Amino acid sequence: MRIDGLQYANWSEKIFRQMREGGVDAVHVTIAYHETFRETVLNFERWNRWFEQYPDLIMKGLTSADIDHARDTGRTAIFFGFQNPSPIEDDIGLVEILHTLGARFMQLTYNNQSLLATGCYEEYDAGLTRMGREVVAEMNRVGLVVDMSHSGDRSTIEAAEHSTRPIAITHANPHDWHPALRNKRAQVIRAVTERGGMLGFSLYPHHLKDGSDCTLESFCEMIARMAGDFGAEHLGIGSDLCQDQPDSVVEWMRSGRWTKGVDYGEGSAAAPGFPLMPAWFCDNRDFGRLETGLRATGLSDDDVAGIMGGNWYRFFAENFGPEVRPGT
């Protein structure tokens, strides 16, 4: 089983076919960065058209059982998520509406301070806001997973502590391996994983040691070390693959509507576009290389199978439905 915890590609039949060639059974795809509720609904509509156009390649995913069905029918299950809470605007009631439409992940922040928490680019991290605590509780209730990939350290730890269900960092790497602002310190990873949460390892070059020149061996050895430190059962892949996107999309991702300037983020101001992917992971057909690299580290077959998809499958099964509460 192969499951990718995060992609934001420029979707096309070519990419859908590459998913099948790479044996990718499920992908969590970003359908909102800074979109309002109505704009996000339009993105749901766009995906509905793709499901109609390519029914032999992809299908909508709502539960882990949909991954089983996708595998049985030779397709990839697509699960939806947001990298920013902008789709709920300032209305907690939209959490349930968006979950009903098919959303299964929502980040509380994207780099900046939001109504819910603090992003990893802010100088001061005030943690969860009053609304943030209320929204996390509502996300727990309906089965919308709290994602803290772009959040600050304190906010992430508080989200893990306040949430009654495990949370996720769908796409990031350890800060001590590569000190990018987006990568997570050990105490943050521990706060998430010790409560049953998941960490998905990112292949986006700005998050990699040596960037685009990162080797497969370095990446896989880092994962093996994390398995020893935090338990392999809490680890997966969240490639953050942005395949075929034009460089102009980076400006939307980073700048949105919050600034009139251009936020270059962790990349160089001289090269603000998408960086080159490592030669060993360019698209969905390369998941086999990653699996081979993990096996070469000495990880057990069970640990490799879990990291490649089994752990995400279990996490989806336990967290995409309504919260089970005493007396219900």
pTM assigned to the model: 0.96
Residue 325 lies in a domain: no
pLDDT at 203 exceeding the cut of 60: yes
Q: What is the CATH number of the domain that holds 242?
A: 3.20.20.140
Let me know if residue 215 belongs to a domain: yes
CB atoms within 10 A of CB 273: 13
Banded model confidence at residue 23, pLDDT cuts 50, 70, 90: very high
Does any domain span residue 326? no
Q: Which 8-state DSSP code applies to residue 309? A: I
- The per-residue pLDDT for 154 is 98
State which H helix or E strand residue 305 sits in: helix 301-305
Mean of the pLDDT values across residues 175-180?
96
Whether the predicted pLDDT of 270 surpasses 70? no
Q: How much is the average pLDDT of 47-56?
A: 98
The closest alpha carbon to 58, from 314, 300, 286, 284, belongs to 284
In a domain, 324, yes or no: no
Among candidates 111, 62, 44, 47, which has minimal Cα distance to 84?
111
State how far the Cα of 113 lies from the Cα of 109, in Å rounded to an integer.
7
Separation between Cα atoms, residue 7 and residue 29, nearest integer Å: 5
The answer to whether residue 218 sits within a structural domain is yes
Between 58 and 248, the more confident residue is 58
Q: How many CA atoms lie within 13 A of 1 on its CB side?
A: 24
Decide if 279 is inside a domain: yes
- Looking at residue 264, its pLDDT comes to 73
Q: Which amino acid is at 195?
A: R
* CA 320 to mean position of chain CA atoms: 15
Tell whether 259 is covered by a domain: yes
Q: Long-range pairs for 249-255 at CB < 8 Å and ≥24 separation? A: 249/10, 249/274, 250/274, 252/33, 252/34, 253/8, 253/33, 253/83, 254/111
Handedness of CA 55, 57, 61, 67 (dihedral sign): positive
Q: Report pLDDT for 78.
A: 98
**Token duo for residue 148:** 């803290």
Decide if pLDDT at 268 tops 60.
Answer: no
Q: Are 5 and 238 in contact (CB under 8 A)?
A: yes
Domain extent at residue 238: 3-319
Q: Is the pLDDT assigned to residue 328 strictly greater than 70?
A: no
| Strand ranges in 52-197 using DSSP code E only, listed in sequence order | 58-60, 76-82, 103-107, 145-147, 168-172
219 in a domain, yes or no? yes
pLDDT in tens, 307-323: 999 999 999 999 999 98
pLDDT at position 102 over 60: yes
Average pLDDT, the chain: 95
202 touches 232 (CB < 8 A) = no
- Give the pLDDT band (50/70/90) at residue 218: very high
Residues 156, 120: Cα–Cα separation, whole Å: 10
CA distance linking residue 48 with residue 46, whole number of Å: 5
pLDDT at 265 over 90: no
Number of domains in the chain: 1
pLDDT 10s digits, 125-175: 999 999 999 999 999 999 999 999 999 999 999 999 999 999 999 999 999
Tell me the pLDDT band of 122, cut-offs 50, 70 and 90: very high
